[in-house]
């Protein structure tokens, strides 16, 4: 079922929200492409719910404009916007059965024949057999799916989801993430999803806006954000980043790589992955994700292919997680570096105390401005 309701992009221009002297959302320009699954991701209090509520019309912006397509909806009340919201607290009517909960929006609009549409919606969320149950007779995940069906029944242009999976246990959360993604693909409308769970945002969304302190620090596809973070906040929020203090040895020259010194050695990184100034001697932080690093015993360092970034160190801790092993390594470049390896045959010499060399493809290295503090 593809929705033919083409509403255009959601566009926020200069949107901000202050409460007294406190700024919850700093002036923000943001475009959410029509038909995309968009996530607002950030820690508690970063302003993501306030941003969502301004799109819904539940919160009045202090400054700025909300556009749905070409239409300025800033002054429209929530019920006049072609937008619907799903909250964490499903907010189902306990005395109505599932069918009537989903039919509610249609009946309120005076639609007489609701059977076909409700049936389609319940099939969409795979609850066709549960139509005559009351909400308390469903699991949390099923209730959440009813809330989604109820929000979609009037064919909004945009569905806003405010931590909709927050009340579910981890396993159910993972199932519902896939389920919501499937539903969004099927209906084809814009979903804007607020979450503090990076894995959730990365699994579900086409585009993620990482918020911090009332600002969007970085916006991009999940893989782009993970592999090429532009700020230390984004690097650390989206996983382990192994940040190493470094100084530029050779800035952007004819070659596309930048050479830096770190812990007595040199490392390379692609110029287009460096978010720091590249004047010689300039300080920066370089990072690499743990699963991009390989580990060998120092005795075998000669076998490392030419051109790889290398850092020496000593293993201080190891943990085994089924197929993968996590190593913690102290090195002259930095302490507490982490490496995740999926070795079928683990080198038995790679135990705490072992002298090792970490090596990786320079293409996986990113550079961050050590002095930067986006405020
Ligand atoms: P959470 O995940 O905890 O809901 P959030 O990122 O969604 O966090 P918001 O709810 O948008 O954060 O709140 C942003 C900031 O604005 C917070 O510091 C919050 O305390 C503040 N805030 C929100 N609503 C009000 C209000 N009505 N009056 C005063 N401050 C508010």
Task: List, for residues 71-90, the tens digit of each pLDDT value.
Answer: 999 999 998 999 999 988 87
* CATH 3.30.1490.440 is the classification of domain 10-236: no
Pocket residue to mutate for ligand 1, from 15, 16, 19, most atoms within 8 A of Cβ:
19
And the tokens for 100?
């009537």
Determine the atom of ligand 1 nearest the C-alpha atom of 25.
14
Q: Is the pLDDT of residue 373 over 70?
A: no
Q: Is the pLDDT of residue 320 over 50?
A: yes
Q: Is the pLDDT of residue 1 over 70?
A: no
Nearest CA to ligand 1 atom 20: 45
Within this chain, domains 10-236 and 241-369 share the same CATH topology: no
Pocket residue to mutate for ligand 1, from 23, 39, 47, most atoms within 8 A of Cβ:
47
Determine the atom of ligand 1 nearest the C-alpha atom of 53.
11
CB 149 within 8 A of CB 122: yes
- How far does the centroid of ligand 1 lie from the alpha carbon of residue 279, in Å? 40
Tell me which fold the domain 241-369 belongs to. Answer: OB fold (Dihydrolipoamide Acetyltransferase, E2P) (2.40.50)
Q: How confident is the model at residue 255 (pLDDT cuts 50, 70, 90)?
A: low
Give me the pLDDT at residue 181, please.
93
Q: Where are the domains of the chain?
A: 10-236, 241-369
Give me the pLDDT at residue 366, please.
96
**ipTM for the predicted complex:** 0.90
pTM: 0.88
Please name the residues in contact with 344: beta carbons below 8 A apart, sequence gap of 6 or more: none
- With a pLDDT cut of 70, the percent of the chain lying above it is 96
Give me the pLDDT at residue 5, please.
46
Sheet containing strand 22-32, strands side by side: 22-32, 10-19, 63-68, 71-72
Integer angstrom CA distances of residue 65 from 54, 57, 295:
10, 11, 52
Hey, which residues does 215 pair with through a beta bridge?
Answer: 212
Nearest CA to ligand 1 atom 7: 49
Give me the pLDDT at residue 6, please.
57
Compute the radius of gyration of the chain from its Cα atoms: 25
């Amino acid at each position: 079922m593809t929705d033919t309701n083409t509403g255009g992009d959601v566009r926020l221009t200069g949107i901000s929200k202050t409460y007294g002297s406190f700024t919850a959302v700093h002036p923000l320009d943001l475009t959410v492409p029509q038909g995309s699954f968009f996530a607002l991701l950030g820690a508690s209090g970063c302003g993501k719910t306030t941003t969502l509520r301004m799109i819904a019309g539940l919160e009045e912006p202090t400054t700025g404009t909300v556009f749905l397509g070409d239409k300025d909806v800033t002054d429209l009340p929530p019920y006049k916007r072609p937008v619907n919201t799903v909250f964490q607290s499903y907010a189902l009517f306990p005395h109505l059965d599932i069918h009537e909960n989903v039919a509610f929006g249609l009946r309120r609009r005076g639609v007489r024949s609701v059977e076909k549409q409700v049936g389609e919606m319940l099939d969409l969320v795979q609850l066709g057999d549960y139509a005559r149950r009351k909400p308390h007779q469903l699991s949390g995940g099923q209730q959440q799916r009813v809330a989604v069906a109820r929000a979609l029944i009037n064919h909004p242009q945009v569905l806003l989801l405010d931590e909709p999976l927050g009340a579910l246990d981890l396993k159910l959360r993972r199932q519902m993430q896939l389920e919501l993604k499937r539903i969004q693909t099927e209906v084809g409308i814009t979903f804007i999803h607020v979450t503090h769970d990076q894995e959730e945002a990365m699994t579900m969304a086409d585009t993620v806006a990482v918020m911090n302190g009332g600002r969007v620090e970085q916006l991009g596809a999940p893989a782009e954000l993970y592999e090429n973070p532009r700020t230390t906040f984004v690097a650390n929020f989206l996983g382990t980043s192994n940040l190493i203090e470094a100084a530029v040895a050779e800035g952007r020259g004819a070659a596309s790589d930048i050479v830096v010194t770190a812990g007595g050695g040199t490392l390379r990184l692609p110029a287009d992955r460096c978010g720091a100034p590249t004047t010689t001697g300039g300080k920066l932080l370089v990072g690499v994700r743990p699963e991009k690093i390989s580990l060998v015993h120092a005795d075998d360092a000669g076998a490392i292919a030419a051109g790889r970034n290398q850092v020496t160190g000593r293993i201080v801790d190891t943990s085994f997680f089924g197929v993968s092993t996590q190593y913690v390594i102290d090195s002259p470049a930095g302490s507490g570096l982490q490496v995740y390896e999926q070795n079928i045959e683990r080198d038995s010499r790679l135990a705490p105390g072992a002298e090792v060399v970490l090596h990786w493809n320079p293409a996986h290295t990113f550079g961050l401005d050590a002095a930067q503090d986006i405020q």
